[in-house]
């Protein structure tokens, strides 16, 4: 592998410039991200056509459709959300929460957090956090939490659940070529640190929860549609009980829902709902296509060979340098940057760990810690794109609010990595 050169530095500077333009909203990332990926691939020498990893085939065609499954899950989730509102099931959920927790509305925060942890510890994709948002976002807003506060609660809880998810243990054990027990041990400790951060967050922000007297709620006999509410539980039963995928669970839930609510033409009603949901999901579909193109561009062998020497040169040589390096430069995990295991780091991580003089265990743990940071903060992460678009909240406000908690978790886990290995 040749020494890094000016071209690698140029690509890195273009990446920083692109991110800066996205953050300041000078340009939408739906345009900037795929453009940067394609330009990077061209500069690295990736062939336009005629190769397995060509720009036309691998980067653009396959990249645009690589996230087709998340797109489909999002459309189905929007269908469920519209169904819940259309048949006023959200009112039943709000009524039940306020009825049984009216003397301790702060308990709703704990209920939502615990359910999010449980669901995300089993479902290995972004649908876990979307389903929780669909069900509980209305009640969180009703009791006084604003949108960004509610989203941060979900993200912190989801990050804890992800640390307990066996699917992610297998995924990152394979990616880092580690024994799965090492990944489990590290993630279990990170989950404990995450719980501490979550407790602090709820403690500091529970002051925003209103008293029951301040909420437009009358304790009266509202007839709860229990048949309709069963629709909400079907996706979880399908995944947890019958080991079906979440797509099947959502389709079964909607099919049951229309039948339970007395639809005379359930199939036609589902088709009509699908049409509306696709229209409402158009922006997310385009965003995910853009991310897919970028992800494929930075994983081409030519781009990996171009950028790896530069990152190897920057890698820390001592434990102290490692702690400072991965703390100060932790923002490079955002926007699918070099430290992102689902971005530029997907192709670079194995090269860095195998080639650097630094203890590979320390570097692996650092990348796992940064990956958790990515799940909570990266605006281009699939779950975050879906969640921010569904809730319709400013991404920068969410990042600003969650930043101290996410960075604290990252710093503690980096310190643990250094102490544990040494």
pLDDT at 214: 61
pLDDT at 198: 96
Q: pLDDT tens digits for the chain (422 residues)?
A: 444 578 888 888 888 888 888 888 888 888 888 998 899 899 889 999 988 889 999 999 999 998 898 899 999 999 999 998 888 888 888 888 877 777 778 888 999 999 999 988 888 777 788 888 988 888 888 888 889 999 999 999 999 999 998 888 887 787 777 788 888 999 999 999 999 999 999 999 988 877 666 666 555 566 778 888 899 889 989 988 888 888 999 999 999 999 988 888 888 999 999 999 999 999 899 988 998 998 898 888 888 888 877 777 777 777 777 777 777 777 778 887 777 766 676 666 666 666 556 666 777 788 788 888 888 888 888 888 889 988 989 888 898 899 999 989 988 988 888 777 65
Q: Is residue 124 part of a domain?
A: yes
Structural domain total, the chain: 1
Residues 6+ apart with CB under 8 A from 207: none
Q: Is residue 323 part of a domain?
A: no
Using alpha carbons, select from 202, 223, 224, 229 the residue that is nearest to residue 143. 202
Distance (Å, whole) CA 327 – CA 92: 45
Q: Is residue 123 part of a domain?
A: yes
Concatenate the DSSP letters of all residues of 205-263 into one string: HGGGSPPGGGS----------HHHHHHHHHHHHHHHTT---HHHHHHHHHHHHHHHTT-
Distance (Å, whole) CA 237 – CA 230: 10
Distance (Å, whole) CA 70 – CA 105: 34
∠ CA 73-163-337, nearest 5°, is: 70
Q: Is residue 243 part of a domain?
A: yes
pLDDT at 336: 78
Domain housing 79? 68-165+185-280
Q: Is residue 214 part of a domain?
A: yes
Concatenate the DSSP letters of all residues of 288-340 into one string: HHHHHHHHHHHTSHHHHHHHHHHHHHHS-SSHHHHHHHHHHTGGGGGGG-TT-
CB neighbour class for 386 (10 Å; exposed up to 12, middle 13-18, buried from 19): buried
Residues of 52-86 as b/e, b for ≥16 C-beta within 10 angstroms?
A: ebbbebbbbeebbebbebbbebbbbbbbbbbbbee
| Contact between residue 108 and residue 206 where contact means Cβ atoms under 8 Å apart | no
Kindly calculate the radius of gyration of the chain based on its CA atoms and give it in whole angstroms: 23
Q: Is residue 150 part of a domain?
A: yes
pTM: 0.85
User: Strand, helix or coil at 385?
Assistant: helix
The distance of Cα 62 from the centroid of its chain, to the nearest Å, equals 22
pLDDT at 368: 83
pLDDT at 212: 63
The distance of Cα 165 from the centroid of its chain, to the nearest Å, equals 14
Q: Is residue 270 part of a domain?
A: yes
Q: Is residue 275 part of a domain?
A: yes
């Amino acid at each position: 592998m040749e020494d890094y050169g000016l071209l690698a530095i140029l690509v890195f500077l273009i990446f920083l410039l692109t991110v800066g333009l996205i953050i300041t909203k000078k340009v939408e990332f739906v345009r900037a991200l795929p453009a940067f990926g394609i330009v990077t691939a061209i500069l690295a020498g990736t062939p336009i056509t005629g190769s397995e990893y060509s720009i036309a085939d691998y980067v653009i065609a396959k990249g645009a459709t690589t996230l087709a499954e998340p797109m489909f899950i999002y459309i189905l989730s929007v269908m469920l959300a519209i169904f819940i509102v259309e048949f006023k099931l959200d009112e039943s959920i709000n009524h039940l929460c306020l009825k049984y927790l009216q003397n301790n509305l702060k308990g709703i925060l704990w209920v939502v957090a615990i359910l999010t942890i449980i669901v995300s510890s089993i479902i290995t994709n972004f649908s876990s956090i979307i389903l929780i948002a669909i069900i509980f976002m209305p009640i969180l807003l009703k009791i006084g939490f604003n949108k960004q506060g509610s989203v941060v609660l979900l993200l912190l809880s989801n990050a804890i659940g992800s640390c307990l998810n066996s699917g992610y243990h297998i995924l990152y054990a394979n990616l880092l070529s580690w024994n799965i027990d090492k990944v489990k041990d590290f993630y279990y400790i990170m989950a404990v640190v995450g719980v501490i951060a979550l407790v602090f967050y709820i403690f500091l922000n529970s002051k925003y929860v209103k008293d029951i007297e301040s909420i437009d709620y009358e304790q009266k006999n509202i007839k709860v549609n229990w048949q309709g509410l069963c629709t909400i539980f079907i996706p979880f039963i399908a995944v947890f009980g019958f080991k079906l995928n979440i797509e099947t669970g959502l389709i079964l839930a909607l099919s049951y829902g229309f039948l339970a609510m007395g639809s005379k033409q359930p199939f036609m009603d589902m088709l009509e709902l699908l049409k509306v949901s696709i229209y409402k999901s158009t922006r997310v579909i385009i965003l995910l296509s853009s991310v897919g193109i970028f992800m494929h561009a930075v994983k081409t062998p030519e781009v990996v060979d171009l950028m790896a020497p530069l990152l190897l040169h920057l890698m820390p040589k001592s434990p102290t340098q490692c702690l400072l390096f991965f703390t100060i430069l932790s923002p490079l995990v955002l926007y699918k940057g070099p430290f992102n295991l689902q971005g530029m780091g997907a192709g670079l991580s194995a090269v860095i760990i195998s080639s650097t003089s630094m203890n590979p265990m320390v570097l692996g743990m650092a990348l796992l810690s940064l990956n958790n940071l990515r799940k909570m903060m990266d605006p281009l992460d699939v779950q975050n794109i879906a969640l921010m678009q569904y809730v319709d909240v400013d991404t920068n406000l969410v990042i600003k609010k969650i930043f101290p908690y996410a960075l604290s978790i990252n710093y503690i886990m980096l310190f643990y990595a250094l102490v544990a290995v040494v």
